[in-house]
Structure 1
Amino acid sequence: MTDPDLRPAPDDLQLIAVEGKTLLNAFIRLQPDIHKDDPNWITPLEMERQALLDPNKNPYFEHAIAKYWLVQRNGKYVGRISAQIDQMAIKEQGEPIGHFGMLACIDDAKVADLLLTTAENWLREQGMVKVQGPMNLSINQEVGLMVEGFDTPSMMLMPHDKPYLQKMLTDAGYESAVDLLAYIRDANTLFPEKLRKLAERGAGGKVTLRKLDMKRYDEEIETIVSIFNEGWHTNWGFVPMTDSEVKHMADELRPIIEPELACFAEIDGESAGFFVCVPDVNEMIRGLNGKLLPFGWLKLLWRMKVRGPKTARVMLMGVRKKFSAGMLGQFLPFRMIYFVEPYLKKSPLEQVEMGWILADNMPVRRLIERVGGKVYKKYKVFEKAL
């Protein structure tokens, strides 16, 4: 078989397999360069991107492999892509599906074609029968291509893409696999009276609400993941989190999590549901150009501790399967949202994003819309048979 790294490229393009620190840094810095004229682009911290892509730092690589490529024209990098194979995803899905991600390129069909066919060829040679993406790098990290909502910045762990990428994918034979939505809600939106009464009266057993206990932080994160893995396992693309990934997530969230914005519902002493909202890191790193040195860390610290964030994102919300049916299943999410409302009103937060949400998950969509959420961004995951 032909190594995709050696496959002939168009005369003016050079395909480069990313190996070593210098090329990895070029890979990371290409997307900010492509978005340099986009006023809503926020450059991720380079140290975070390096950790994401490094097999020695990202526990995703305990069950996955990935390959990265750059495309160069006349000495200038003009495109990048990754291809991943996640053995846990294959086990959950029951078929050999590979993923592509980290897609960024100039508005040039030849560049896009070279990137996509390179990733496809490598996945095919590894025995994959289908490719889905973009995923940066997994379903539990950044997912999808933004297709609506380019007029506002994206929040943490949500993609921000060029509008022309959607056509490039469809022209390359990709079809929509699933649609994802992000909702926005003003933090001072009043809780509807009917829902307030529902949230206050309780339902189905002794329900208690409490905020996250930072003194038992690791245990609290384990509870969140336990409910997540149980409650989300029937969702499209679900892949459970490993113990290493749980610890990694806990370490990343610890500096930014606010206990008053994370709560648990318990029924007769048993954990039944959770709600996690975190300040939007993207707002706080805007304008730092991906760097904390020499003075970026001072700006970040001031924005976090003095000014305070104006935006936040509901990253996770879940209910244990045994409690998810009937009236109780409808009640718990409302009750958890209602529980954090007083803090939202007192905080400097102005807007809260709730997403991503599967477009066909109508129960959750109705819940968010009933408390004042409005769709403001749309994403797609694409797929193609290999």
Structure 2
Amino acid sequence: MVHPFVVRPVATAADQQAFLALPKRVYQDDPYWVPPLTESVAKQFLPTNPFFEYGELQQFIAVSAGEPVGRIVAAVNRRLIDREQQAVGLVGFFECMPQFEVAEALFETALGWLRDRGMTLARGPIDLSTHNSCFFLIDGFDSPPMVMMPYNPPYYPEFIEKAGWHKAKDAYAYSFPLDRPLPSKFERAYQVARKAGITFRPIHTQGEGFEQDCRTFYQLFTQTFAHNWSSSERTEAEFMAEAKELQSLIDPDVFIIAEDQQQMVGFFMGLPDYNIPLKRVNGRLNGLGLLKFLWFRRQIDQGRVIAIASLPEYRRKMVPLALIYLGMEGGRQKHKPYRRAELSWVWEDNMPSRRIIEAAAATIDKTYRIYEKAF
């Protein structure tokens, strides 16, 4: 039985606190959920978020008997609208207790807000942009998510489909065990790239070297992924702010840069799976939380490959395969703790990347989905 509830805009500090606290109710008995850092979620709604320079949003919360039972955010990202030339709005930050009536009311409230702003298509879950958290997990609920990857109860995709949304596009997370070497073609590709004059090095992690690498990396990242579906361009300032948040977490042995005559032409972006210690801090890196994080980071034994890319003209010089070879070999070193890598996420129709990944004998471990609804 669903008790009476109301869906209302988040308007007070108490509403915001309930909005941020709701996931702990939803996942209190879920062994695989990793609490996000509360501060990181909260700052996305502050006026200082650069998103408000080109977008607007509204948070909503569902409340029953004084307790939060659901939440959602509707957003208009004008950069995405300009790029796609259609009135597409976004929904994200969705969490809900296992009550379909609540979920349905949240979806309808978000759609109404978007409709009032002239939108004719809704897409989600996307937390403001695909550079942030997005997707519902639809397959692979038997293990925790890797760092910066989403997780949700199995009933979320059931609820959104029952509410009339349909699949827009799927993406995959590939699993690659590190207890065996890559096929020999990857090492051969590395040798081909070297003979073509390509050099490889780890990213700089300190001072001006780090900042310069990140600025160049931003330009290459923007150029390489300019045509990604549902993607809106970030400014350099936004990119640099995110990079500095990750600076202390980088393992340079699994973050490799390819250069031609000292010009960056490709990269392999790996990151240790910091979800392992983050699971222990209950969403807060305060004094005790930080101590727990530092202690449990020693248990990290896997990592996530976030992106592999090169300029198109360097693919014939085998730069992508060479980067995979160096990145995976970096993680396989004897003094490294990694036993497994996840390559995520990869769009289902990105066949060039999928062919390369599958040639490395990686297998699909999790499937994610973004939905749409016209109105």
* TM-score, normalised with respect to structure 2: 0.94
How much has 1:259 moved relative to structure 2?
Answer: 1.9
Residues 1:227 and 2:220 are matched in the alignment: yes
**Cα distance in 2, alignment partners of residues 292 and 213 from structure 1:** 26
Deviations 1:321-345 (A, max 9, x none): 3434xx33xx111101212334312
How much has 1:54 moved relative to structure 2?
Answer: 2.4
Residues 1:300 and 2:293 are matched in the alignment: yes
Residues 1:15 and 2:7 are matched in the alignment: yes
Deviations 1:161-213 (A, max 9, x none): 11111121112111111111111112333111232223223278311111112
**Cα distance in 2, alignment partners of residues 94 and 322 from structure 1:** 29
Match of 2:358 in 1: 369
Contact 1:188-1:344 within 8 A present in 2 as well: no
Which residue of the other structure, out of 233, 253, 257, is the alignment partner of 1:260? 253
The unaligned stretches of length 5 or more in structure 2 are none
Which residue of the other structure, out of 49, 73, 78, is the alignment partner of 2:41? 49
Secondary structure of the residue that 2:248 maps to in structure 1?
coil
Cα separation, partners in 2 of 1:11 and 1:41, compared to 1, 3 Å: closer
Which residue of the other structure, out of 332, 349, 360, is the alignment partner of 1:345? 332
Match of 1:3 in 2: none
How much has 1:234 moved relative to structure 2?
Answer: 2.0
Match of 1:6 in 2: none
The unaligned stretches of length 5 or more in structure 1 are 1-9
Match of 2:371 in 1: 382
Which residue of the other structure, out of 191, 194, 202, is the alignment partner of 1:200? 191
Residues 1:158 and 2:146 are matched in the alignment: no
Contact 1:15-1:69 within 8 A present in 2 as well: yes
Match of 1:116 in 2: 107
**Cα distance in 2, alignment partners of residues 365 and 195 from structure 1:** 15
Contact 2:308-2:323 within 8 A present in 1 as well: no
How much has 1:25 moved relative to structure 2?
Answer: 2.1
**Cα distance in 2, alignment partners of residues 32 and 104 from structure 1:** 10
Contact 1:101-1:137 within 8 A present in 2 as well: yes
Contact 1:133-1:381 within 8 A present in 2 as well: yes
Residues 1:272 and 2:272 are matched in the alignment: no
How much has 1:294 moved relative to structure 2?
Answer: 4.6
Q: Displaced runs of 4+ in structure 1, greater than 6 A?
A: none
For 1:167, give the aligned amino acid: E
For 1:43, give the aligned amino acid: P
How much has 1:231 moved relative to structure 2?
Answer: 1.2
Which residue of the other structure, out of 230, 235, 239, is the alignment partner of 1:246? 239
* TM-score, normalised with respect to structure 1: 0.91
Deviations 1:25-66 (A, max 9, x none): 21111112101111111111111211233232x322322211
Cα separation, partners in 2 of 1:195 and 1:317, compared to 1, 3 Å: closer
Moved more, 78-87 or 241-250: 241-250
Cα separation, partners in 2 of 1:141 and 1:204, compared to 1, 3 Å: farther
Please give the root-mean-square deviation of Cα atoms over the aligned residues, in Å.
Answer: 1.8
**Cα distance in 2, alignment partners of residues 384 and 194 from structure 1:** 44
Secondary structure of the residue that 2:191 maps to in structure 1?
helix
Match of 2:201 in 1: 210
How much has 1:308 moved relative to structure 2?
Answer: 5.2
Match of 2:70 in 1: 79
Paired residues for 1:117-196 under 5 Å: 117-196=108-187
Q: How many residues align?
A: 370
Contact 2:123-2:371 within 8 A present in 1 as well: yes
For 2:118, give the aligned amino acid: G
Cα separation, partners in 2 of 1:136 and 1:156, compared to 1, 3 Å: farther
**Cα distance in 1, alignment partners of residues 68 and 267 from structure 2:** 44
